[in-house]
A and B are shown apart, each in its own frame.
Chain A
Amino acid sequence: MRTTIKLALGSTLAIALLTGCGSAKTRNIDIHNDKESSAVMGLDYRDFQGAAQSMVQSLINSGAVNKPGGGRYVLVVSRVINDTMQHIDTDQLVKKMRVALLRSGKVVVTTAVGVGGAEDKMSMQTRTALRGNAEFNQRTVAAKGQMIAPDLSLSGKIIQRNITVDSSTQQVEYYFQMSLTDINTGLAFWEDEKVIGKRGSNDSVAW
């Protein structure tokens, strides 16, 4: 009887321990009020959100997108270099900026031009494929000379620097650098940089 009780207790304890040591329960993040695990050494969505917010505010504050005589500038997104050890899709930063700038009413973004070719290839493809095609009503096919060339180009770089503070602590610095260039003159109308610094255990990885 005593052995049975011991076995039962042992089993219960083992199950309890195993359950307790199991992986954390998966749950959705409240992205509007997420104060948890803010100290990850890598870049997370809050960093991109903060960087984009800071950049757009700086850009609108500067008046660089205020077109003399009114109207909207046409913006093309140039190269945003990821010079960090992390696999980052730079659209995490750029898309937020594009949306905010488009909503500002001062800028419209072209997707017909890009560094590695058109961002949306369809606008060009529909022209080349459909123009002269007897299956399509030619009055509905985009005419020649209708595309608008960009006035401004947005480019940037995200840089990472790792610094050893002491034997157990490391510091990781991220630099978000952005430029807005007037394509006609090649002059940068606006530039800014936002730095995010994180200090933590050497055991944490930043990639």
Chain B
Amino acid sequence: MRNIFILIATLLTFSACSNNYQPDPRVKIIGHCSNSAMLVSDVNAMMRDDGFMQTQITGENLTSSYFKVEYKIVWFDENNFKIDSILSNWAEIPAYAEQPFYINVTAPSNKAKTFRLYLKKEGNLICEQQSN
């Protein structure tokens, strides 16, 4: 009986501690500190009627302070070749304390079939490992 209780308690503990979020391979958070400061909780992508791919990334500022999130989306065509565009430059959005943030972007061309998103916390010089 005692063993059953221990087993149930263990199962409950592990299920509570487990994180259901599976990191999306299309998203990469750059820098150790950025990883602890934000979380990407959802990546939504669809093909619009006009042939342009649109994506919405939902993230969350896990800290109790405001910061800016810098992001960059690189688009690829059906052959996995990178599509050069001004829309692949670093851009920034506000991330308010303990609140979600949303990145809503459309591909620069209807040739885009997939993408890779890079995120980092602005001005995180100590933890920043790479900038592009």
Which residues does A use to contact B, with CB under 8 Å? 32-33, 49-50, 52-54, 56-57, 60-61, 63, 66, 96, 99-100, 103-106
Contacts and interface: CB of A to CB of B under 8 A. Distances in A.
23 contacts: A32-B132, A49-B86, A50-B89, A50-B91, A52-B86, A53-B87, A53-B91, A56-B86, A56-B87, A56-B108, A57-B87, A57-B105, A57-B106, A60-B106, A61-B105, A96-B86, A99-B86, A100-B85, A103-B108, A103-B109, A104-B108, A105-B110, A106-B50
B86 A60 contact: no
Given A53-B86, A54-B91, A100-B86, A61 B106 contact: yes
Contacts of A32: 132
B129 interface: no
Question: Interface on chain B toward A: helix, strand, loop, or mixed SS?
Answer: loop
B10 interface: no
A37 to B, nearest CB: 15
A66 B89 CA distance: 23
Nearest to A100: B86
B68 to A, nearest CB: 13
A60 B86 CA distance: 12
Given A56-B86, A61-B106, A105-B110, 13 more contacts: A32-B132, A53-B86, A54-B91, A56-B108, A57-B91, A60-B52, A60-B107, A60-B108, A66-B50, A103-B85, A104-B108, A105-B109, A105-B111
